[in-house]
Amino acid sequence: MSGPPAPTALAGDDRALSSVVGKTLELGLLALYVGLLVSTFYGGVLPEYRASTADSVADRTTAALATDVESAVPATTDRGVADDGGVVAVAVEHEVDVPRTIRGDAYRVRLEGGELVLYHPDDSLSRTVPLALPDAVDRVAGEARSGDAVVIVVESTPGGLVVRLEGR
């Protein structure tokens, strides 16, 4: 009677290797899952969110700055400085906060022709807002760049009030 077969040199025990292969497959599946999530977010969801956020920031910036310009002009019925000096001269300086960038790019704001204009490198983010200013305002002018301290200056002249936007 013969006993159990004798172990041969070719037959081995591979049980210790199966746990290593299993963990490697788990890591591979996890890397694939994370890669799919990242490509989904950066390929579709995040760019749309970023664009809508930039659009909203441009709207809020122009609306807030237009409101600041309109409120910086004092309520007066006098048109400018009288020749005899009987009217007190108006001199207002008001510094306003604006975002340094919109969607990562610097921009310019300008007062021209009774309007506040925001110029952005991406034309879809540029804005124009009409200003509601009293009749005492003779002229609006000036420009500032984002990143500068934006100051609204209102001064009396013989022709009326002058509203300027300055970057300092």
**pTM of the entire predicted model:** 0.65
- Closest residue by Cα to residue 136 from 164, 114, 156: 156
Q: How far is CA 23 from CA 6, 29, 33, in A?
A: 33, 10, 15
**Strands 91-96 and 108-112, sheet pairing:** unpaired
Query: Which tens digits make up the pLDDT trace of 71-123?
Result: 888 876 555 455 545 455 668 888 888 889 888 889 999 998 889 999 999 88
**Strands 137-145 and 127-130, sheet pairing:** unpaired
Q: How far is CA 136 from CA 55, 65, 76, 112, 149, in A?
A: 34, 20, 7, 17, 27
* Neighbour count for residue 10 (Cβ, 10 Å): 5
- Look over the chain and give the mean of its residue pLDDT values, rounded to a whole number: 81
Give the residue extent of every domain in the chain: 46-167
* Neighbour count for residue 136 (Cβ, 10 Å): 17
